[in-house]
């Protein structure tokens, strides 16, 4: 079986092989799938996502994006197609609008159309942020609001794969529900391929995820 993302016999260790994280790990993700990877804290879930977008380098095996090794892509090209959203949202000093359009200042994204203020305002409403203006200071917002901004910023690049690293670990129940709802809508309405890792008990309400458990340095379908 081939997919938009294929991982074959992946191996990775920290501290010069002192700690083996993965050994012969395999994964195939189909276009438009919602893949949910669960596992205990420290099992390597975040590392897996960082390897997919080349923030870490594997020791063995290979990762293919659209049937090409990820090393064959320019890093900026790869990270525009496969966008990683960390569990702690990173906001630059500045307004909500400045944070949302920040990626468009990179030379690698020169070919992308910068969204208008109207588009950004409409997007804020879609993400349950109608009470937030584009002029708000992003770092003054709650963690839940910042996490939704981080998702917005990722989606403005129109990635083919969205990597979500424990996106609700620091959120209250209401914000958690909002973020999960948004991610499910993206998967259903926009056919976004989602790979999400969590150690919690989250089960999507409106999509049927492909569920994996990461344990003993490998993934198994459950």
Q: Output the 3-class SS for the chain.
A: CCCCEEEEEEEEEECCCCEEEEEEEEEEECCCCEEEEECCCCCCHHHHHHHHCCCCCCCEEEEEECCEEHHHCCHHHHHHHEEEECCCCCCCCCEHHHHHHHHHHCHHHCCCCCCCHHHHHHHHHHCCCCCCCCCCEHHHCCHHHHHHHHHHHHHCCCCCEEEEECCCCCCCHHHHHHHHHHHHHHHHHCCCEEEEEECCCCCCCCCCCEEEEEECCEEEEC
Query: Could you give the CA distance from residue 28 to residue 3 in angstroms, rounded to a whole number?
Result: 6
pLDDT tens-digit profile of 87-104?
888 999 999 999 999 999
Q: What is the pLDDT of residue 1?
A: 56
Cβ neighbours of residue 16 under 8 Å, at least 6 residues apart?
A: none
Give 108's pLDDT tier (boundaries 50, 70, 90).
Answer: confident
Q: What is the pLDDT of residue 16?
A: 66
Mean pLDDT score of the chain, rounded to an integer?
91
Give 190's pLDDT tier (boundaries 50, 70, 90).
Answer: confident
CA distances to 6, 39, 54, 127, 190 from 213, in Å: 17, 6, 22, 29, 26
pLDDT tens-digit profile of 68-84?
999 999 998 899 999 99
Tokens 């926009």, residue? 190
pTM for the predicted model, two decimal places? 0.90
Q: What is the pLDDT of residue 206?
A: 84
Q: What is the pLDDT of residue 17?
A: 65
The structural domains of the chain, ordered by start, are: 5-221 (3.40.50.300)
pLDDT tens-digit profile of 111-155?
788 999 999 999 999 888 999 999 999 999 998 899 999 999 999
């Amino acid at each position: 079986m081939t997919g938009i993302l294929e991982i074959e016999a992946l191996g990775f260790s920290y501290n010069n092989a002192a700690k083996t994280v993965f050994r012969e790990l395999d994964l195939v993700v189909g276009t438009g799938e919602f893949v949910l990877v669960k596992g205990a804290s420290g099992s390597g879930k975040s590392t897996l996502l960082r390897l997919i977008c080349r923030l870490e380098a594997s020791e063995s095996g290979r990762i293919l994006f659209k049937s090409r090794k990820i090393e064959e892509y320019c890093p900026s090209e790869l990270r525009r197609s496969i966008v990683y959203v960390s569990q702690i949202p990173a906001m630059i000093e500045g307004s909500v609008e400045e944070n949302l359009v920040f990626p468009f200042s990179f030379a690698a994204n020169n070919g992308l159309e910068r969204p208008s203020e109207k588009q950004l305002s409409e997007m804020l409403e879609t993400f349950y942020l109608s009470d937030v203006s584009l002029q708000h200071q992003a770092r003054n917002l709650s963690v839940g609001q910042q996490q939704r901004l981080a998702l917005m910023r990722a989606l403005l690049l129109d990635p083919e794969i969205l990597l979500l690293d424990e996106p609700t670990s620091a959120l209250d129940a209401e914000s958690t529900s909002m973020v999960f709802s948004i991610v499910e809508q993206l998967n259903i309405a926009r056919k976004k391929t989602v790979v999400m890792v969590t150690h919690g008990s989250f089960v999507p309400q409106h999509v049927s995820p492909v569920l994996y458990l990461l344990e003993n340095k490998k993934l198994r379908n459950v």
